[in-house]
Amino acid sequence: MDRYNGSVRDLVNASFFSTFFSKTKDGNTRLSWRGWRWISIIVINIAFFLSFYIDVQLLEGTLNGSRLLGFHLIDPFTALEILVSDFGIHINIIIGSLTLLIFYFFVGGKAYCAWVCPYGLLSEIGEKIHLKLVSKKIIKERKFNPNIRFFFWVVFLLAAFIDGYLVFEVINPIGIISRFISYGWSLALVWVVVILLFEIFFSRRGWCKYICPVGTTYNLVGWVGLNRIKWDMDKCDHCSACIAVCPEEHVLEFIKPKYDKTRKDKDKSKEYVMNGDCILCGRCFDVCHTDAYNMDFRLKDLV
């Protein structure tokens, strides 16, 4: 427990921008996984901006629904909302949502949350502030059962079914930010600020971890996704730094020392992070000083 608390303190005290870089074994500085993720998010959303304002026609629309080089893409949860709200079967929506589901099946379910979502970037900033306030005992840390997200997932779909309207899209911070990037200012941005303040002062990444149905939809893909993070017990010294930085820390529950006794053979000493909540952010890679983590594409194990 002391080592875990030490990891938390290190996370809080570290300069936020210093986490965009990491050291290699030979002492060289390189861009961290967080740095690469931020670049990914920024580049994707700049593509939306340029496509609208300069008519580049590269990535048109928003993250709810777009066209990549003319090919339709649509957020899977938005597609579900449309399906239950008007009972219509729209070919472009089916093709666009299935394309993304197949893509994330190979890339890794909730990678969307870490590598694409613009609110996720704001949430990381809010997380840093939140942890600082908790360390100074200005606020308390509040955690809930992450499965509560499935309750909200059903509620938002029921709302669309009953109302015949995409109710969630009124409060969806991803859509609000994406429309702001593509089309300009909206008063709805105030709601995004409210959500961010909720995460800063009430619960660490509370919206993303416990409410957002977009991430919950990708969670379902994550359970069967082929791209996984793999942990090696033989290299791990149980410092718990990875748990301290993980935005979905419950997915690393299995690495705790109390489970080591059940791993009697060599094969069990190397395990995949199987929980669909893993967003493949790579923050465990950035902080692990023993290189106990690596990315593994499981297709080779299935053929």
Dump pLDDT digits (tens) for 201-247: 999 999 999 999 999 999 999 999 999 999 998 899 999 999 999 99
**For range 64-74, the mean pLDDT:** 91
Residue 11: pLDDT over 50: yes
CA separation for the pair 282, 218 (Å, rounded): 17
Report field, pTM of the whole predicted structure over 0.75: yes
Would you state the pLDDT for residue 235? Answer: 92
Would you state the pLDDT for residue 50? Answer: 92
**For range 251-262, the mean pLDDT:** 87
Least confident of 8-12, 190-194, 226-230: 8-12
67 near 49, Cβ under 8 Å?
Answer: no
Backbone angles phi, psi at 110, to 5 degrees: -90, 20
Residue 13: pLDDT over 90: no
What is the tens place of the pLDDT at every residue in 136-153? 999 999 999 999 999 999
Backbone angles phi, psi at 59, to 5 degrees: -130, 95
Would you state the pLDDT for residue 301? Answer: 56
Would you state the pLDDT for residue 1? Answer: 42
Would you state the pLDDT for residue 58? Answer: 86
Chain position carrying tokens 């290699």:
24
Chain position carrying tokens 């300009």:
184
**For range 180-189, the mean pLDDT:** 92
- How many separate helices (H) and strands (E) can be counted in the chain? 14, 8
Average pLDDT value over all residues in the chain? 89
Instruction: Assign 69 a pLDDT band (cuts: 50, 70, 90).
Output: confident
**For range 64-69, the mean pLDDT:** 92
Would you state the pLDDT for residue 265? Answer: 59
Q: Where are the domains of the chain?
A: 2-25+228-302
CA separation for the pair 34, 158 (Å, rounded): 36
Q: How many CB atoms lie within 10 A of CB 212?
A: 29
Residue 269: pLDDT over 90: no
Instruction: Assign 26 a pLDDT band (cuts: 50, 70, 90).
Output: confident
Instruction: Assign 46 a pLDDT band (cuts: 50, 70, 90).
Output: very high
Would you state the pLDDT for residue 215? Answer: 96
Amino acid in the structure at residue 109: G
Q: Closest Cα partner for 276 from 146, 100, 110?
A: 110
Would you state the pLDDT for residue 16? Answer: 66
